[in-house]
């Protein structure tokens, strides 16, 4: 497959693994890249910029294919040395960065100087247009179905993807609910030039997540995620468990603030859940696409299956609309 996205990523297929906290490590990123897609290391999974450089080097021992780094720029309770992480990425020789959170405008010049291409994650067309003006090379447009932070507009991919494709000159990746070849075919038909998948790559054999979490998610349906932080205007989609339900209960109380839920939503608790397999230990981030997932393949099996199913779906749609003799 060849699109403007593969021109940017240098990969065989226009499929990108989204950045995921505690998940985007060298084991997964290298396996995704070896499968012909673009693996992504998550910068802030590493405790320091120096640790990120070591993880980049470790990933290079596992693949000779292109891979990128995700840098999510969000308000945090403790300062994050974003400038230092940017410098590590720029000096590492990695040629693609996926940015998320607030605008990466302040870092674009440094990335460009180092020859790093930039894909920025957006949840609204207006944000994507702003990113395009700032100079990013592509955007990943995340619909309401996505895990993580889908924004506050609640626009699903069926509307958001073609709206972005109509408005932008740079290529777009479709994200949110991308889990099968049919999803990819739909995204391409709607104007995207590739897809970003997070939860689907988390549920692979190479993903560094405990099998107990993987099994819980593949047994879930499209109704087994929930939205938290709605009252705080920082909406996030996570797996429905006792922790997320308690977060919803507390934040719905009059006058509730972040301090009322801080101990429930800490990254440390989420990491314990991911590494111990206890799905009730903390927040588990997952998208609605879990309703389309029922196995735990290798990354190679997953990518080849998605590409084959995408081609079959597009061919079927073409045949359905072909003019008669």
The pLDDT tens digits along the chain (325 residues) read 999 999 999 999 999 999 999 999 999 999 999 999 999 999 999 999 999 999 999 999 999 999 999 999 987 667 899 999 999 999 999 999 999 999 999 999 999 999 999 999 999 999 999 999 999 999 999 999 999 999 999 999 999 999 999 999 999 999 999 999 999 999 999 999 999 999 999 999 999 999 999 999 999 999 999 999 998 888 999 999 999 999 999 999 999 999 999 999 988 899 999 999 999 999 999 999 999 999 999 999 999 999 999 999 999 999 998 876 5
All structural domains of the chain: 4-208+296-321 (3.20.20.70), 211-288 (no CATH)
What is the per-residue pLDDT for 295? 97
Closest CA to 226 of 151, 291, 153, 286: 286
What is the per-residue pLDDT for 77? 66
Tokens 């230092």 correspond to what residue? 84
Cα radius of gyration rounded to whole Å, the chain: 19
List, in order, residues 6 or more apart from 128 with CB less than 8 Å away.
Answer: 120, 122, 139, 141, 164, 167, 168, 172
What is the per-residue pLDDT for 289? 97
C-alpha–C-alpha distance, residues 16 and 37, integer Å:
6
- β pairing state of 138-142 and 172-175: parallel
Phi and psi angles of residue 42, each rounded to the nearest 5 degrees, phi first: -95, 115
Cβ of 169: how many Cβ atoms within 10 Å?
A: 6
What is the per-residue pLDDT for 78? 76
Contact 139, 164 (CB under 8 A): yes
Instruction: Tell me the pTM.
Output: 0.95
What is the per-residue pLDDT for 52? 98
Distances from the Cα of 75 to the Cα of 2, 72, 236, 238, 285, angstroms: 37, 10, 14, 19, 18
């Amino acid at each position: 497959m060849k699109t403007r996205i593969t021109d940017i990523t240098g990969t065989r297929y226009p499929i990108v693994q989204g950045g995921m906290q505690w998940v985007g490590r060298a084991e997964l990123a290298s396996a995704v890249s070896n499968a012909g897609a673009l693996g992504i290391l998550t910068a802030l999974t590493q405790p320091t910029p120096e640790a990120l450089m070591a993880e980049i080097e470790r990933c290079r021992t596992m693949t000779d294919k292109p891979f990128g780094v995700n840098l999510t720029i969000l308000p945090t309770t403790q300062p994050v040395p974003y400038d230092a992480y940017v410098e590590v990425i720029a000096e590492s020789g990695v040629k693609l960065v996926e940015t998320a959170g607030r605008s990466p405008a302040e870092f674009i010049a440094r990335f460009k100087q180092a020859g790093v291409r930039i894909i920025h994650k957006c949840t609204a067309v207006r944000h994507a247009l702003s990113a395009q003006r700032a100079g990013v090379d592509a955007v990943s447009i995340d619909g309401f179905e996505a895990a993580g932070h889908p924004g506050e507009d609640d626009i699903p991919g069926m509307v958001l993807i073609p709206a972005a494709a109509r408005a932008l000159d740079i290529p777009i990746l479709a994200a949110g609910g991308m889990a099968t070849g049919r999803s990819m075919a739909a995204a391409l038909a709607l104007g995207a030039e590739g897809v970003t998948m997070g939860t689907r790559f988390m549920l692979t054999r190479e993903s560094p997540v405990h099998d107990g979490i993987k099994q819980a998610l593949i047994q879930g349906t499209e109704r087994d995620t929930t939205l938290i932080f709605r009252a705080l205007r920082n909406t996030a989609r996570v797996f429905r468990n006792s922790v997320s339900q308690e977060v919803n209960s507390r934040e719905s109380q009059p006058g509730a603030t972040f301090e009322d839920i801080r101990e429930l939503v800490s990254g440390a608790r989420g990491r314990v859940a991911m590494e111990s397999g206890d799905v009730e230990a903390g927040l588990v981030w997952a998208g609605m696409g879990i309703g389309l997932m029922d196995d735990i393949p290798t990354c190679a099996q997953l990518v080849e299956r998605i590409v084959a199913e995408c081609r079959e779906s597009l061919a079927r749609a073409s045949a359905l609309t072909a003019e008669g003799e």
